[in-house]
Amino acid sequence: MYLIGFPLLLVPFVLYNLFAFLFGVTDWNAPIFSVQLISGGEWKIGWGDLLVALAILLLFVEIVKSARIGSRGIIEHMLSMLLFIGMIVEFLMVERAASSTFFLLMVAEFVDVVGGFTVSVRTAQRDIGIAASPTMDA
């Protein structure tokens, strides 16, 4: 898989910045379209909702990718950490990033960083446990 070393949560981050800076989106809750539900209610979907949903889906893929061990996994963890640091800096320093949508994208990236390290460590511990010989205890 070619995208193993690429932090997928970079995609919603880039999309947020494209919409915020190139297209001038400032109201992330403004409805793009709505869906009429069976209950009679109307579900209004905005750009922020779509970006957060995409980030959650990509977060699942990132957590699954974290179970792999090797140098690519370490590089991916480092890139994810750099992306998280970049998101924190942008959130604190750039006015257009001061939104709940961006904050939720940043939380998803934080879960990716912490979850990636946790899954990698747990997977490595399991591999070491399986590889241990029963004669080593004597």
Q: Is the pLDDT of residue 70 over 70?
A: no
Position with higher pLDDT, 113 vs 67: 113
Q: How many whole angstroms separate alpha carbon 43 and alpha carbon 85?
A: 34
For 45-59, how does the pLDDT look when each residue is reduced to its tens digit (9 = 90+)?
999 999 999 999 999
Count CA atoms within 13 Å of residue 92 on its CB side. Answer: 6
Q: How many whole angstroms separate alpha carbon 16 and alpha carbon 9?
A: 11
Instruction: Name the burial class of residue 76, with classes exposed (0-12), middle (13-18) and buried (19+) by CB atoms within 10 angstroms of its CB.
Output: buried
Contacts of 82 (CB under 8 A, 6+ apart): none
Least confident range of 3-7, 85-89, 130-134:
130-134
Where are the domains positioned within the chain?
A: 7-130
